[in-house]
Structure 1
Amino acid sequence: MDLLYHSLQIADHVATVTMTHPPVNAQSRPFREEGIRLFDWLSDAEEVRCVVLTGAGKVFSAGADLKERVGMAPEQGDYLRHNRQVRDYFFAVADCEKPVIAAVNGPAIGAGFALMLACDIMLAADTAFVQMPEVDVGLAGGTAFIAEHFGKSRARAMYFTARRYPAAELYRLGVIEQVLPADALLEAAMVYAREIAAKSPLAIRTAKRAFMTVETMPVREAYRYEQSLTVALSRSDDTREAQRAFVEKRKPVFKGG
C-alpha cells in the first residue's frame, strides 16, 4: 500500500502505524482518506493481529487542519461531505477488527484527542497532554468521545474551558493504561501488542466485537449476547486448541479459525 501521511511496519503479527504529516500530524482530507483505507486494510490483513498507532515527531496529532475550513460553503454540501469523512476516519480506527493501541507520544488536541479515544488501549508519554479547544475555533464536535470517558463535570469543564490536561491526570482518572518516559513509550505499547497477538485471533476479534456491541445494551441482554458469542467460539478450532493446550500445560498454536 502506497502511503504519504502514514508509515506502516508489520512484525510478529503487530502492525505499527505512525502518522507522518509534519509538523504536527494535522488531519487533512487526504490524511483522513488514507487513514480510512489503511485501517480498513488492517482489519482484513490476516498477518495482523494487533495495531499500534503513534505519531512521528513530538506531537501525536494537533487535530483537524483548520485551513481546509476556509471557504467551505454549508449551503453547497461542503460540511456534509467533510463531516462524513471525519466520522468515517474515527470509526475506521474504532471499528478495526484488530485491537488498536494508542502510543500517545505528545499532545493530542481536538480531533487528535478524539482519535486517541477511538483506540482500544491508550498509553502516553509523560510529556503528553490532551485538549479540546473546539469552542475556541467555532466548532462543536467531539463531546461524545469525551463524555464516554469522563464524568459530567470534568467533560464539560474540559470542553468549555479548553484547558490542557496532562497525561498523568488521565492516568489518575483511569482513562489511560500507562504513563511512561517518552523513550520507553513505544516499546511498552509493543509489549501489550505482542501479548495480544499471541492469543487466538478469533477470540480477540470476538471480544472486541462484544465490547463494541454491548456498549448501549442493558446488562442482562448484553450478557446474553456475550454468551452467544461464547457458544460460537466453542465450535472453533482455536478454542479447542486453547483448551487442549491448557490441559496439556503447553503453549497453544492458533490458526485463527
Structure 2
Amino acid sequence: MNDETFAVGPDNRYAKYARLQFDWPQPRVLRVTMSNGKMNSADEKMHGELGMVWRDIDSDPAVSAVILTGAGKAFSAGGDFAMMERIIDDHNTRIRNWKEARDIVYNVINCSKPIVSAIRGPAVGAGLACGLLADVSIVTKTARIIDGHTKLGLAAGDHAAMVWPLLCGMAKAKYYLLLCDQLLGEEAERIGVVSMCCEDDELDAKAVEVAGRLAAGPPAPFAGRNTRSTTGCARPGRCSMLRWRLNSWALLDRK
C-alpha cells in the first residue's frame, strides 16, 4: 500500500479541515479519516466538516473514489456531549446542527464519487450516517452499530429513517431504531445493513482494494453525470434511496 500523505499546499482544498485527515492509499483514492482523540465523537467542528467535505470531494478532479474511516479503534462514537448540551440550550446552535445534519445526508448522496466506508469499533451518530450511506460499507466482526437517537428522547433521524428500512426491512429497522440495541458487524452483514464483514486486521486492506477497483472503473465525470440524472435521489418523496443506488451503479457499469 502506498502511504503517501496529502501534501498541504496553498491550493489544497483539504487544509481547512481540523477533524478530518486525508491521505492517498492508492492513485485517485482519497482516504478521509475522522480523528479528534475522543473516539472520533462528532463535536461541533467535526459535525460541520462531515457535511462540507463531500462537496469538496465531489468537485476534486484528482479523486475517483473515497474511503471514510476512523482513527484508532473507533469509527465514530456519536455526538459530543458538549455539543448536545449546546443544542439543547441554544436555539442558534440547534438550527445550525439541524442544517448540518441535513447536509451530511444529502451531500453524501449527491457526491458523484463512489464512497467506501471502513468501520471498526463503535459507529454512532453523524459518522454512522456517512458510513451507512456509503456505496460500499465494510465492517469488522466486532464493529458496534448503534443509532441511539431514541435513548436521547429524539426521533431516529439523520440517515436512519430514510435508509435503514431500505437496507434491512421495516421490522428490523424498527427494532434497532426504537430500542437502540447495538448491532454487531456479522449480524449487520447478515441482515443487509452493511455490504460485507471481515476480520479487524483485514479491514483497511479490503477497503483500499474495493476503492481501488472503483477508482479504476468509468471516469468520475461519467459517473457524476449519470448519478445526477437518476436523482430525485436526495428527496425521498421523489425517488427511493434503493432505486437511486441500483440505477446509479447500473449506469456506472456501462462503458
Q: TM-score range by the shorter chain?
A: 0.7 to 0.9
What is the aligned-residue RMSD (CA, Å)? 2.9
Q: Is 1:15 the counterpart of 2:33 in the alignment?
A: no
Contact 2:47–2:126 (CA<8 Å) still a contact in 1? no
Residue 94 of structure 2 corresponds to: 79
Pick from 194, 199, 209: which aligns with 2:228?
209
Residue 41 of structure 1 corresponds to: 56
Contact 1:62–1:111 (CA<8 Å) still a contact in 2? no
Pick from 154, 175, 186: which aligns with 2:193?
175
Identity of aligned residues (%): 25
1:111 Cα offset (Å): 3.2
Q: Distance in 2 between matches of 1:136 and 1:26?
A: 17
Q: Is 1:116 the counterpart of 2:134 in the alignment?
A: no
1:75 Cα offset (Å): 8.2
Q: Which moved more, 1:30-39 or 1:210-219?
A: 210-219
Residue 252 of structure 1 corresponds to: none
After superposition, the C-alpha distances for 1:86-130 in whole angstroms (9 at most, x for unaligned) are: 211232222212011101122212333322122111011111021
After superposition, the C-alpha distances for 1:196-217 in whole angstroms (9 at most, x for unaligned) are: 1112213332454356546766
Q: Distance in 1 between matches of 2:140 and 2:69?
A: 11
Identify the structure with the greater helix proportion: 1
Q: Distance in 2 between matches of 1:169 and 1:211?
A: 31
Q: Distance in 1 between matches of 2:128 and 2:205?
A: 22
The TM-score with structure 1 as length reference comes to: 0.78
Q: Structure 1 residues 129 and 210 mapped into 2: Cα distance closer, same or farther (>3 Å)?
A: farther
Pick from 128, 144, 155: which aligns with 1:129?
144
Q: Which moved more, 1:41-50 or 1:67-76?
A: 67-76
* Matched pairs, number: 228
Letter matched to residue 29 of structure 2: V
Structure 1: gaps of 5 or more residues: 234-238, 243-257
Q: Structure 1 residues 137 and 20 mapped into 2: Cα distance closer, same or farther (>3 Å)?
A: same
Letter matched to residue 87 of structure 1: R
Contact 1:114–1:145 (CA<8 Å) still a contact in 2? no
Contact 2:168–2:192 (CA<8 Å) still a contact in 1? no
Residue 253 of structure 1 corresponds to: none
Letter matched to residue 205 of structure 1: G
Question: In terms of Rg, which structure is larger?
Answer: 1
Q: Is 1:191 the counterpart of 2:209 in the alignment?
A: yes
Q: Which moved more, 1:85-94 or 1:152-161?
A: 85-94
Letter matched to residue 186 of structure 1: D
Contact 1:27–1:65 (CA<8 Å) still a contact in 2? yes
Structure 2: gaps of 5 or more residues: 1-13
Letter matched to residue 156 of structure 1: K
Q: Distance in 1 between matches of 2:90 and 2:48?
A: 23
The TM-score with structure 2 as length reference comes to: 0.78
Contact 2:86–2:93 (CA<8 Å) still a contact in 1? no
1:7 Cα offset (Å): 0.8
Letter matched to residue 117 of structure 1: L
Contact 2:117–2:136 (CA<8 Å) still a contact in 1? yes
Q: Distance in 2 between matches of 1:82 and 1:4?
A: 18
Pick from 165, 180, 193: which aligns with 1:162?
180
Contact 2:76–2:124 (CA<8 Å) still a contact in 1? yes
Letter matched to residue 223 of structure 2: I
Q: Structure 1 residues 73 and 58 mapped into 2: Cα distance closer, same or farther (>3 Å)?
A: closer
